[in-house]
Amino acid sequence: MATVDSLQTVRDLEPMILRHAVTAEGDRKMAPEVMSALVDTGLLRMWIPRALGGLEMAPNAALEVMEALARIDASTGWIVSNCVFITTLYQFLPAPVIEELLGDPKAVTCGTFVPPGTAHTTGDGYLVNGNWTFGSASHYATSLVTSNVLTDDNGPVMGEGGTPVNVIAFFAPKNAAFLDTWHTLGLRATGSINFTVENLYVTRDHSVVLGPWETTAGPFAAPLYRMGLIIDAVRIAQVGVGIAQGALEEFIELASAKTPAYTATLTADRATVQERVARAQALIQAGRHTLRATVAEAWESVQKGPRITGHTCVPMGLAASFALDAAVQAVDLLYESGGTTAFRDESPLQKRFRDLQTLRQNAIASWSRYESLGKLILGRQSDWAFHQL
């Protein structure tokens, strides 16, 4: 499926996504009709290799689709971007397991690394225990992926630098218990519930020790899979840009129809509003173009170069934190300019504001990563482990 076809697919899905958005918000999970459509159109397979029936889309092409979905509905954009990123983690499993778990075109992979569970070494596998948060769309998963601290009879196993060794485990949702914990300010329809397992045996061929990684053979040896885990931060920020773009379009519609009480001037004709909407658009453009440019540079570098990790992830990491923060600033300007109309439940602006305030707290692309990236710039070790993977 070409990029243009995927964007047309998004446009075709827009009426259905919007039709179910209010119900999904109340149910606190994606509508089954929307999930079925996402599966059937292949949008959840954008970063699965072509050899495995995926689209293997170039990074910026897929990110554009994620933004387009988030412009329509933040929760849909989040779920697609999250599931698509998680599929890249299969590259470290044995080929038969990859084919088993990804061979089904209706496969839906969900998971979370927060907080890590435990994986206790036993025989030819691990006994996994955990209570993980942020299991977005796990109701629909065919496979779950979790992060776990490796333990033995003496406690946590420590790696280089005295940090715990982590194991990524893949297991079937039927082995997990799902908890109704997703009660939040925004992104309500993502269904990012907790799930738990207790003494679940996971074989070694369904697990992998967390990095450093470099796939040199098989369908995951293509340049796309050398973009590194930092692409996770980028896709989060791209969703933020999509939310902000949707807010801008909705504000323009509001401003063109509203005359504030006790005034005779349309909101769109007020100089202060014109200045704010221009600043908001500038922030959105700056975030989008920064992401696109840094991803394009990284994409060029991995065509013949090594996996992006350590200091080479700095440009994309900075772009992600910058773009997400710019999106937040833009929506703040628009929400403030919307007056009392903006905070009512029926206003799409208040939902954009809530969704983005929730998204901005994600540690992977938040402002707190500036310090972690600054350490790398200054030749220090990052305090964010995923920068080293």
Beta partners for residue 195, in sequence order = 132, 178
Separation CA 270–CA 254 (nearest Å) = 13
Give yes or no for a contact between 66 and 84, defined as CB atoms under 8 angstroms apart.
yes
Domain boundaries, the chain: 3-92, 108-212, 227-388
DSSP structural state of residue 226? G
Residue 61 is encoded by which pair of tokens? 């092409």
185: helix, strand or coil: coil
pLDDT tens-digit profile of 318-373? 999 999 999 999 999 999 999 999 999 999 999 999 999 999 999 999 999 999 99
pLDDT at 1: 42
How far is Cα 24 from Cα 79, in angstroms, rounded to an integer? 13
Query: To the nearest whole percent, how much of the chain has pLDDT over 90?
Result: 94
CATH of 3-92 given 2.30.130.10, 3.80.30.20, 1.10.540.10, 2.40.50.140? 1.10.540.10
Superfamily for domain range 227-388 = Butyryl-CoA Dehydrogenase, subunit A, domain 3 (1.20.140.10)
CA separation, residue 160 to residues 119, 151, 351, 388 (Å): 18, 15, 44, 12
Report residue 162's pLDDT band, with 50, 70 and 90 as the boundaries. confident
Phi then psi dihedrals of residue 178, to 5 deg: -100, 135
pLDDT at 282: 98
Q: Go through the chain and tell me how many residues it has.
A: 389
- Across all residues in the chain, what is the average pLDDT? 95
Q: Does domain 108-212 have CATH number 2.40.110.10?
A: yes
Nearest to 17 by CA among 38, 43, 41: 38
Mean pLDDT of 203-228: 89
CA distance 85 to 120: 27
**List of residues 6+ apart from 96 with CB closer than 8 A:** 205
Q: Cβ contacts of residue 234 below 8 Å, gap of 6+?
A: 59, 63, 291, 294, 295, 316, 319, 320, 365
Q: Which two tokens stand for residue 330?
A: 């833009």
| Residues near 263 by beta carbon (within 8 Å), at least 6 away in sequence | none
Read off the pLDDT band of 3 (50, 70, 90).
low
Amino acid at 374: G
Which residues does 39 contact at the CB level (< 8 Å), separation at least 6?
Answer: 105, 106, 108
CA distance 228 to 214: 9
For residue 140, pLDDT over 70 is answered with yes
Taking the C-alpha atoms of residue 120 and residue 154, their distance in angstroms, rounded to an integer, is 10
Report the alpha-carbon distance of residue 101 to residue 112 in Å, rounded: 17
| Helix extents (H) in 338-382 | 348-359, 369-377
